């Protein structure tokens, strides 16, 4: 995507990123901070979140805060407690990037362990739903807010072996579409991003034989993350965007 964001695109915007300690989420948090946002960094590994918080501070960004929440064990109660903690410190949220995700096992459906199925659905779908429900009131207090879900090419067309992960991403696309219609007459927009093959730990575990140098880095795919978080996308809702339009799904060639 060719997008030239204004340097002050996200000035003073209050943005929460899940899975902010690593991979694409880490890069998105750092990028949003560089464009002026105040970051809420959510993840399960405190050390990783702290490193991102520190890097934002070192780069002169607005003070960021870290929130530890393991989405595998998240409940409606723990998500509401988190939302209350956030509401005590911030007047509203201008953006939420649901980025945290679990791959599970690449294996035929017939052999997929129920525990894997459960964990992938819990992190990618159930926790995303619970967190969204808890954070919606804060998003609706903003004069212009953006809710972004993270999809995948296997969330649009099923692929052999991608079991629970693919099904969870179809559910993510559905959640986005339902919410986009429910909030179409409000200042909240709801969209999906399919990152496309990107050089991260998750990608390496899905395609261990792939040459990572043939993949885009998280930094390369940030234009769409900026576009959807900032007001240039104000009228866009209910859309599933590709961070790498035209990229063929599957291993890099
Ligand atoms: P990574 O595995 O690099 O990062 C995933 C992030 O999610 C990490 O910060 C991780 O935390 C966090 N996370 C995982 N489980 C939990 C949990 N139980 N509770 C809280 N946080 C959790 O993955 P990517 O950056 O590659 O993926 C980011 C998103 O993009 C995912 O939704 C993925 O499905 C999607 N995607 C990625 C593609 C790619 O090629 N990379 C392609 C298509 C979609 P921790 O570091 O502490 O484990």
Question: In this predicted model, what pLDDT tens digit does every residue of 207-237 receive, in sequence order?
Answer: 999 999 999 999 999 999 999 999 999 999 9
If one residue of 124, 200, 202, 204 were mutated to test the ligand 1 pocket, choosing by the most ligand atoms within 8 A of its CB, it would be 202
Work out the average pLDDT over 82-89. Answer: 98
- The reply to whether 49 falls in a domain is yes
Whole-number Å distance, alpha carbon 186 to ligand 1 midpoint, is 30
**What is the residue range of 149's domain?**
14-242
Q: How confident is the model at residue 155 (pLDDT cuts 50, 70, 90)?
A: very high
- The reply to whether 247 falls in a domain is no
Task: Please tell me whether the interface predicted TM-score (ipTM) of this complex is above 0.90.
Answer: yes
How many structural domains comprise the chain? Answer: 1
3-state secondary structure of 107: coil
CATH number reported for the structural domain that contains residue 155 in this entry = 3.40.50.720
Cα 43 → chain centroid: 11
- The reply to whether 250 falls in a domain is no
Look up residue 46 and give its two tokens: 């405190």
Whole-number Å distance, alpha carbon 98 to ligand 1 midpoint, is 10
- The reply to whether 70 falls in a domain is yes
- Beta carbon of 201 within 6 Å of any ligand 1 atom: yes
- The reply to whether 248 falls in a domain is no
Tracing tokens 């209050």 back to the chain, one arrives at 14
Q: H helices of the chain, where?
A: 23-34, 46-58, 76-89, 114-121, 127-140, 163-182, 201-206, 222-229
Enumerate the active-site residues.
165
Question: What does the pLDDT read at residue 145?
Answer: 98
- The reply to whether 3 falls in a domain is no
- The reply to whether 249 falls in a domain is no
């Amino acid at each position: 995507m060719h997008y030239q964001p204004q340097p002050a695109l996200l000035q003073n915007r209050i943005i929460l990123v899940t899975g902010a300690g690593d991979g694409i989420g880490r890069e998105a948090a750092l990028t949003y901070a560089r464009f002026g946002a105040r970051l809420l960094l959510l993840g399960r590994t405190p050390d990783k979140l702290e490193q991102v918080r520190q890097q934002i501070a070192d780069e002169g960004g607005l003070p960021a805060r870290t929130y530890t929440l393991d989405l595998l064990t998240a409940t409606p109660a723990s998500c509401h407690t988190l939302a209350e903690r956030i509401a005590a410190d911030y007047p509203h949220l201008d953006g939420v990037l649901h980025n945290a995700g679990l791959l599970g096992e690449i294996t035929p459906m017939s052999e997929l362990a129920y525990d894997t199925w459960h964990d992938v659905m819990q992190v990618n779908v159930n926790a995303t739903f619970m967190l969204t429900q808890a954070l919606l009131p804060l998003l609706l207090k903003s004069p212009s807010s953006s809710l972004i879900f993270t999809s995948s090419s296997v969330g649009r067309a099923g692929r052999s072996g991608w079991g629970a992960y693919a099904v969870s991403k179809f559910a993510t696309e559905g959640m986005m579409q339902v919410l986009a219609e429910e909030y179409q007459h409000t200042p909240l927009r709801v969209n999906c991003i399919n990152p496309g093959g990107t050089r991260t730990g998750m990608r390496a575990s899905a395609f261990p034989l792939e040459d990572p140098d043939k993949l885009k880095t998280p930094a390369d795919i940030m234009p769409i993350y900026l576009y959807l978080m900032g007001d240039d996308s104000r009228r866009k809702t209910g859309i599933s965007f590709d961070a790498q339009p035209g990229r063929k799904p599957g291993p890099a060639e």
